[in-house]
Amino acid sequence: MNATIVVSIAMSIVAAATPLLLAALGELVAEKSGTLNLGVEGMMLLGAVSAAIVALTTGDLWLAAGAAALAGALGAGLFAVLTLSLTANQVATGLALTIFGQGVSSLVGKDFVGREVHRLPEVFPAALAEHPLARVLFGYDAFVYFSVAAALAVAWFLSRTRAGLVLRAVGEGDSSAHALGYRVIAVRYGASLFGGAMAGLAGAYFSLSLTPTWAVGLTAGRGWIALALVTFSGWRPGRLLFGAYLFGAMMIFELQAKAFGLTLVPPEALAMAPYLATIAALTIISAGRAGANLRAPACLGKPFRATA
């Protein structure tokens, strides 16, 4: 195994982790405010198809990314109206949003299937990324750097800002937050829309970079892995960043092991590893003291009705 292969594997892992990280960060913020949106996969597909359509018709990749964020946010907006304003069941609405996203994206994307989208360019000049080791750091498009920056920003926002504290308060004790004068529903709307925009961007990463085209069901279930990742992280952005790369690594190692002809660990075991890791994390969290600070937000998934 030479350095080029190691670098190439590392870069594949980063590429696989980026959409998971983007989508999971958005969902983490939404869940921290107390809303459980299972529609991540649907919002990702809305983002992916919007990005592909805008990129193919205008050729402007940044406009495409913007459209993806907007489409994801619109999906989340629909979810928010139904669950926050009309207090519909969040689990059912989220699942419906996934099915809705699958259907709408395949309908509007009909005339764009299989056409080549121009791939997002790398941020840094090629000369800087020439050496293999430099390439691991400087060889990516803007989404990769944005996703890491976003993880740090979300961590800072949640733990160091007043607005972040309010958002967590709303997620942990909605009635108390309401009694203190905070606008619970407004905060949750904001968090949901942010989650939708991030899921849309995660979808755009598929149609603009990973698999630069549109095809029905392009994200093939990554939204569910992102949801598992939020739980795995114990609702902490730092752990989420680590988890995204860990999950990405497990997905890539499954295939690399097959290409190498390694049979020490069955590749099927690696394929299910992200889910096993999530179950393990959940078990540890619910086991008691050790996981006390990794628990789900207390109001997660519960509807809120202002009483006074």
Residues that bind another protein (CB under 8 A): 4-5, 8-9, 12, 16, 19, 106, 109-110, 113-116, 119, 206, 210-213, 215-222, 251-252, 255-256, 258-261, 268, 271
Q: Considering beta carbons, is residue 166 or 216 the nearer one to another protein?
A: 216
Q: Shortest Cβ distance from residue 60 to another protein (Å)?
A: 20
DSSP character string of 154-191:
HHHHHHH-HHHHHHHHHHH-HHHHHHTT--HHHHHHHH
Q: Considering beta carbons, is residue 110 or 131 the nearer one to another protein?
A: 110
Rounded CA separation 298/172 (Å): 5
Q: Shortest Cβ distance from residue 16 to another protein (Å)?
A: 6
CA–CA distance from 162 to each of 67, 149, 165, 234 (Å)?
Answer: 30, 20, 5, 21
Q: Considering beta carbons, is residue 16 or 229 the nearer one to another protein?
A: 16
Q: Which two tokens stand for residue 152?
A: 């740090």
DSSP character string of 34-77:
T---TTHHHHHHHHHHHHHHHHHHH--HHHHHHHHHHHHHHHHH
Q: Which two tokens stand for residue 22?
A: 């983007």
On whether the CB atoms of residues 301 and 89 are closer than 8 A, the answer is: no
Q: Shortest Cβ distance from residue 34 to another protein (Å)?
A: 31
Q: Shortest Cβ distance from residue 257 to another protein (Å)?
A: 9
Among residues 174, 146, 177, 138, the alpha carbon closest in space to that of 241 is found at 146
Q: Considering beta carbons, is residue 135 or 222 the nearer one to another protein?
A: 222
Q: Shortest Cβ distance from residue 260 to another protein (Å)?
A: 7
Q: Considering beta carbons, is residue 4 or 286 the nearer one to another protein?
A: 4
Q: Shortest Cβ distance from residue 221 to another protein (Å)?
A: 8
Half-sphere exposure of 166 (CA within 13 A, CB side): 16
Q: Considering beta carbons, is residue 109 or 171 the nearer one to another protein?
A: 109
Q: Which two tokens stand for residue 238?
A: 């730092």
Among residues 250, 275, 244, 253, the alpha carbon closest in space to that of 22 is found at 244
For the chain, the helix, strand and coil percentages under 3-state DSSP, each to the nearest 5 = 75, 0, 25
Q: Degrees (nearest 5) of the Cα angle 2, 148, 54?
A: 100
Q: Considering beta carbons, is residue 67 or 210 the nearer one to another protein?
A: 210
Q: Shortest Cβ distance from residue 293 to another protein (Å)?
A: 33
Q: Considering beta carbons, is residue 54 or 270 the nearer one to another protein?
A: 270
Q: Shortest Cβ distance from residue 201 to another protein (Å)?
A: 15
